Structures are given as structure tokens and as C-alpha cells.
Amino acid sequence: MSKTVIVWFRRDFRLNDHTALEKAISYCEENDARWMGLFQLDPHFTENIDLHHDYFFQTVAQFQDTCKKENLPFQIVYGDAIDVFEKVTDTLDVKAVFFNEDKAGYGARRDQDVCDWLKNKEIEFHSYQDYYLHDKQDVRKQDDSMYKVFTPYYKQWRTLKKPQVIQIDLKKVKKYAIEISDSLDSNKKFKNVLKQCERDWKAIGEKSANQRAKRFTKERLKDYDHHRDVPSIVGTSKLSPYLKTGTLSVRTLFHMIAEYDHKGGETFIQELAWRDFYGMVHAEFPEFRDCEFQTKYRGIPWNDDQEKLNKWKRGETGFPIVDAGMRQLNQEGWMHNRLRMITASFLTKDYLIDWRLGERYFEEKLIDYDESSNTGGWQWASSTGTDAVPYFRIFNPTTQAERFDPDGTYIRKYVKELKDVPNKAIHQPSKMSEEEQQDSHCMIGQDYPHPTVNHKEQRQKVLSVYKERT
Ligand code: FAD
């Protein structure tokens, strides 16, 4: 039996620009070893398959197909992480494990358990920073503490040299691959999981990710700064699901963008820095997902109204822009950034419902779900996080809609019952006269709900709740 090196794939399903894979191949070359790809199918993620996991598992299946076509070994083994490594090391002569690290959240805790176990078994392990352009050690204040405000963080982040794209020699990857066998009897469970994944996702996987990134850079990047806030047009990259699953490397993306010297490119790069920023905050503050970063906002008496929560989830709040955002999320597993801000603000400030419940709902649905960015976004919107929107700046859903979707194009796309409502009433359909309601085939209270809250009143309530703690 030849010496085996495991490349443990987790959210990095690609064969290019992949740190752990490149390092594993070098190791094989130096130590006359052979490598095998592994995916641990975690029971934690197979219990409830909603859009987020549907997309994720289909991405894994796509990667498995690519490996098959390229004759590369990639095994999917079901079980808790330690059980999986026990099984793998019982079957193969494993000398080392290579992976791209998770610095925060569930992944970081799992990694720590596996590393402790491997250490005990005297098996080498090598982990690498790969998911971000810069991690928490790279961008620090002079006294080595973390930045709590994005702007100075970004100033420093921008001056730092960015890591280069990692060239991978596919010939070598093939040369040092272990002979393919299904000794781990791995596929049965994954096939069952895939049967529950019903969505027909377009353009999944590494090849599509790179094509889309190139197309975006060529066709839309220039206008990104003007168009990124308009939900009715495709003005953003929609690359987040690829970055999340790692079918697109953030290094590759950064260097593609950096070739262009214009405002659009610069604004886009700043968004990639927000991604790093929230990753850094989460790594510094591991409780981030469950606990407000700002201590003064811990213990807010949130409203426990399940009916309202369900209305928000279904997109039946009676505020067209909020409902359109939630329905886009439910249909597509993706939502425009402006809408994420509006819907999150609505849940926390208009319904005064706990941001954690919103965060968990986004987790189920978002195909780009990322613990750090999602928590960062929710704590931003609920004014509880680091560098969050100040509590007294409360989004008015109607004026937000008038500003960012003036003629209601976006609203009509997702809230079909409002499609014939005239422009002047699209943001407040309940103000239509009965005749206008009849003309636009939309009877308020029957076809579309009355507003479920009074924004002005809620605004006062929420202001006093936050003010008390400031
Ligand atoms: P683009 O505008 O094209 O931006 C390019 C990339 O930059 C994105 O793909 C993303 O990786 C990164 N990015 C952009 N904006 C942000 C941001 N504010 N914070 C962190 N990274 C950013 N992003 C996620 O990737 N996963 C999430 O789970 C997530 N949840 C969010 C929840 C809330 C409440 C809010 C307000 C924002 C959330 N975001 C999340 C950030 C942002 O909405 C998405 O990254 C963006 O909408 C993805 O679409 P895009 O790829 O077209 O973005």
C-alpha cells in the first residue's frame, strides 16, 4: 500500500488556484506519496435540505463528476468528522492531511477536533489560509488589536500586497493521484442525499464560475458602482455562490478585477474587503453568530410574534419591496444586497423580531450562505454589530422602494398580484381606491395584504428600545 495524502475538500470545490491541493502535490513529489480527495458528508447538514444545502450538494456532485472525468480520486464519506477520519485511516496508510482552514464558526470547531485527533494518531496535518484575501493576522491596528471600523481597516487592507494565483499543474495532479477504488464504500449515502436535491441549478461548478466572472468583468464591472444598488437590473456579479462553495477562488477573482483601473473595479474590490472584514470579526469574536458584538445591545426585549415572523418569511408583510425581496429569496436562494438590508431592517426594526431568527432563515435559503458575512449583515442591519448602521437610522421600506425601485419593476417581478398596479400606487397599494383596486385586479385584504405594521409607530418604539441602552 502506497503512502497516502488526503486533500480534505470542504468549501473549495475546484482544481485551480487551490492552496491545499498544490501543497499536497508538492508533498507527494517529495515523499513519493499519492493523494486522494475527500469530502466528509456531515450528518449535521443532511437533516434538513433546503435551498442552501441543495445548491451545495449539487456543487459537490458536480465536482465529483469532474474528478471522475479527469480520472482523479475523490471520495465522499458519511459521518461525523472523527468517525470519517477513523474509517479513512483504517483503510488507507494515511501520512498527512491537507486542507484549507476555517477560521471561525462550526467549521473551525470541527477542524480543531480533527486536528487534535490527528495529532493523537501522529498523522501530519497542514492547513492554509485560502478563503480570504487577507485573514485576521494581516490587517491590524498599530497596537495589534483588531479594527472595529471598516474604513480604516480597508485603508490598510488596500495597501497590502494580495496573494498571487496558485498555478496547479494538472499533469502532476494526475501523476500523484492514488489509484481509484471505492474501498470506503462511500457513495450510497450521498446518492440518497442527492435524491432530495430537486432544484435545477444553472451554471454550477468551477467552469461556469470562471466563465461568469470573466463575463461580469468584461461586461458589467465598469458600471458596477452605478448599478449595484438597483435590484431590477443585473448590476452585481452574482458570484457569491461560487465564492461560498469555492468553485471560484477569491485570488483569481481579485486579479481579474485588478486589471481594470476604474471606479467600478475599485468599488467591487471594496466589497471583497467587506468579506474579509466580517471573516476577521468572526475569527476575533467566535460568539458572533449568537451574540451582539456591541455589549450594550445584548438582551434587547425582542418581539416573539410567530405569526409576523412567518409573514415576513413568506413575503406577506404588506410592504411590497420587503415582500419582493423575501419571495426572491424563497424562489432563487439569492437576494440582492439592497434587499437583504431592507428585509433585515424590516424584521428587526419594524417587527422588532430577534435578528438571530432572520439570520437562521437566511441560512436555510441562501445559496451563498456564509456564517461570517450573514451574521455581519444581520448585525449591521439591526445596529448591534461592529461598524453597524446607527440605531436611529431606520430604513423606511416605502422610501427605500421609491429610491431603488422607482417604477416597481423589481416588485412586479416577484409579487405577481401587484403586476397591474399603476406606478403611483406600487409602493403603497393599500392607498388605492376601491375602483383602482378593481382596475388593477388587486383587492387589498384579499389578493394582497394591508400593511401589517404602522412604520411610523414602530419607528418610535424601536428608537426608545435602543435609546434606553445607549
Ligand atoms: P457583488 O455586489 O457582486 O459583490 C462581490 C462579492 O463581494 C460578493 O459575491 C461577496 O462575496 C462580497 N460582498 C459584497 N457585499 C458584501 C457584504 N456586505 N459583506 C460581505 N461580503 C460582501 N454575503 C454572502 O456572501 N453570504 C451571506 O450569507 C450574506 N448574507 C447577508 C445578509 C445580510 C442581512 C446582508 C445585509 C448582506 C449579506 N451578504 C452576504 C452580503 C451581500 O449581500 C452579498 O455578498 C451579495 O449580495 C452577493 O451578491 P453578488 O455576488 O452579486 O455581490
User: Relative to the CA of 380, which ligand 1 atom is closest?
Assistant: 36
Say if residue 460's pLDDT is above 80. yes
> Is the residue at 432 inside a domain?
yes
At 244, phi and psi to the nearest 5? -65, -45
Say if residue 178's pLDDT is above 90. yes
CA 391 to ligand 1 center in whole angstroms = 21
Sequence-separated (6 or more) residues with CB below 8 Å from residue 468: none
> Is the residue at 180 inside a domain?
no
> Is the residue at 124 inside a domain?
yes
- Assess whether 235 and 255 both reside in one domain: yes
CA 373 to ligand 1 center in whole angstroms = 7
- Assess whether 258 and 368 both reside in one domain: no
- Assess whether 119 and 149 both reside in one domain: no
Q: Are 320 and 427 in contact (CB under 8 A)?
A: yes
Q: Are 410 and 418 in contact (CB under 8 A)?
A: no
- What mean pLDDT comes out for the span 87-105? 94
> Is the residue at 198 inside a domain?
no
- Assess whether 267 and 325 both reside in one domain: no
Using DSSP's 3-state secondary structure scheme, residue 6 falls into strand
User: Relative to the CA of 366, which ligand 1 atom is closest?
Assistant: 28
What per-residue confidence (pLDDT) applies to 311? 98
Query: Looking at 302, 332, 363, 402, which residue is catalytic?
Result: 302
Query: Which residues on neighbouring strands pair with residue 34, listed in sequence order?
Result: 4
Instruction: Quote helix, strand, coil % in the chain, to nearest 5.
Output: 55, 5, 40
Q: What is the mean pLDDT of the chain?
A: 96
Say if residue 185's pLDDT is above 70. no
Cα 157 from Cα 278, distance rounded (Å): 13
For the chain, the domain total comes to: 3
Sequence-separated (6 or more) residues with CB below 8 Å from residue 181: none
Cα 442 from Cα 10, distance rounded (Å): 47
CATH number at residue 220: 1.25.40.80
User: Relative to the CA of 238, which ligand 1 atom is closest?
Assistant: 52
**pTM for the whole thing?**
0.97
- Assess whether 237 and 331 both reside in one domain: no
User: Which residue's CA is the nearest one to ligand 1's atom 16?
Assistant: 271
Last residue of a domain, one of 242, 265, 284: 284
Tell me, using a 6 A CB cutoff, whether residue 370 lines ligand 1.
yes
CATH number at residue 60: 3.40.50.620
Cα 91 from Cα 83, distance rounded (Å): 12
CB neighbourhood size of 348 (10 A): 26
> Is the residue at 146 inside a domain?
yes
Say if residue 387's pLDDT is above 90. no
Tell me, using a 6 A CB cutoff, whether residue 379 lines ligand 1.
no
Cα 300 from Cα 419, distance rounded (Å): 39
Sequence-separated (6 or more) residues with CB below 8 Å from residue 66: 15, 205, 206
- Assess whether 347 and 453 both reside in one domain: yes
Q: Are 343 and 380 in contact (CB under 8 A)?
A: no
Q: Side chain identity at 254, as an amino acid letter?
A: F
- Assess whether 74 and 6 both reside in one domain: yes
Residue to substitute in 234, 240, 404 for testing ligand 1 pocket (most ligand atoms within 8 angstroms of CB): 240
Q: Give the closest residue to 269 by CA, choosing from 125, 110, 158, 372.
A: 158
- Assess whether 101 and 153 both reside in one domain: no
Tell me, using a 6 A CB cutoff, whether residue 289 lines ligand 1.
no
Say if residue 1's pLDDT is above 70. no
Query: Which residues on neighbouring strands pair with residue 75, listed in sequence order?
Result: 38
- Assess whether 215 and 143 both reside in one domain: yes
- What mean pLDDT comes out for the span 264-285? 97
CA 271 to ligand 1 center in whole angstroms = 8
Would you place residue 183 in the very low, low, confident or very high pLDDT band (cuts 50, 70, 90)? low
Ordered strands of the 34-41 beta sheet: 74-78, 34-41, 4-8, 94-100, 124-128
What per-residue confidence (pLDDT) applies to 279? 97
Q: Is 157 a catalytic site residue?
A: no
- What mean pLDDT comes out for the span 453-460? 97
Last residue of a domain, one of 284, 318, 336: 284
Tell me, using a 6 A CB cutoff, whether residue 341 lines ligand 1.
yes
Query: Looking at 86, 124, 266, 271, which residue is catalytic?
Result: 271
CATH number at residue 395: 1.10.579.10
What per-residue confidence (pLDDT) applies to 44? 87
- What mean pLDDT comes out for the span 165-178? 96
Tell me, using a 6 A CB cutoff, whether residue 280 lines ligand 1.
no
> Is the residue at 186 inside a domain?
no
What per-residue confidence (pLDDT) applies to 48? 86
Tell me, using a 6 A CB cutoff, whether residue 368 lines ligand 1.
yes
CA 274 to ligand 1 center in whole angstroms = 8
Last residue of a domain, one of 259, 284, 309: 284
User: Nine-digit cell at 276?
Assistant: 474579509
Cα 299 from Cα 354, distance rounded (Å): 10
What per-residue confidence (pLDDT) applies to 413? 98
Cα 381 from Cα 388, distance rounded (Å): 7
Q: Is 332 a catalytic site residue?
A: no
At 436, phi and psi to the nearest 5? -65, -40
- Assess whether 456 and 326 both reside in one domain: yes
Query: Which residues on neighbouring strands pair with residue 312, listed in sequence order?
Result: none
> Is the residue at 194 inside a domain?
no
> Is the residue at 171 inside a domain?
no
- Assess whether 369 and 303 both reside in one domain: yes
Tell me the per-residue pLDDT of 119-146, one tens digit each, with 9 for 90 and over.
999 999 999 999 999 999 999 999 999 9
- What mean pLDDT comes out for the span 195-211? 95
Share of the chain above pLDDT 70, in %: 99
The residue segments making up the domain with residue 330 are 295-467
What per-residue confidence (pLDDT) applies to 270? 98
Query: Looking at 35, 157, 274, 334, which residue is catalytic?
Result: 274
Cα 90 from Cα 415, distance rounded (Å): 55
Query: Which residues on neighbouring strands pair with residue 6, listed in sequence order?
Result: 36, 97
- What mean pLDDT comes out for the span 384-411? 95
Tell me, using a 6 A CB cutoff, whether residue 337 lines ligand 1.
yes
Would you place residue 181 in the very low, low, confident or very high pLDDT band (cuts 50, 70, 90)? confident
CA 377 to ligand 1 center in whole angstroms = 8
Tell me, using a 6 A CB cutoff, whether residue 359 lines ligand 1.
no
Tell me, using a 6 A CB cutoff, whether residue 17 lines ligand 1.
no
Say if residue 180's pLDDT is above 90. no
CA 267 to ligand 1 center in whole angstroms = 13
User: Nine-digit cell at 377?
Assistant: 449583515
Tell me, using a 6 A CB cutoff, whether residue 282 lines ligand 1.
no
**Degrees, nearest 5: CA angle 458-461-465:** 135
CA 139 to ligand 1 center in whole angstroms = 20
Q: Is 355 a catalytic site residue?
A: yes
- Assess whether 222 and 310 both reside in one domain: no
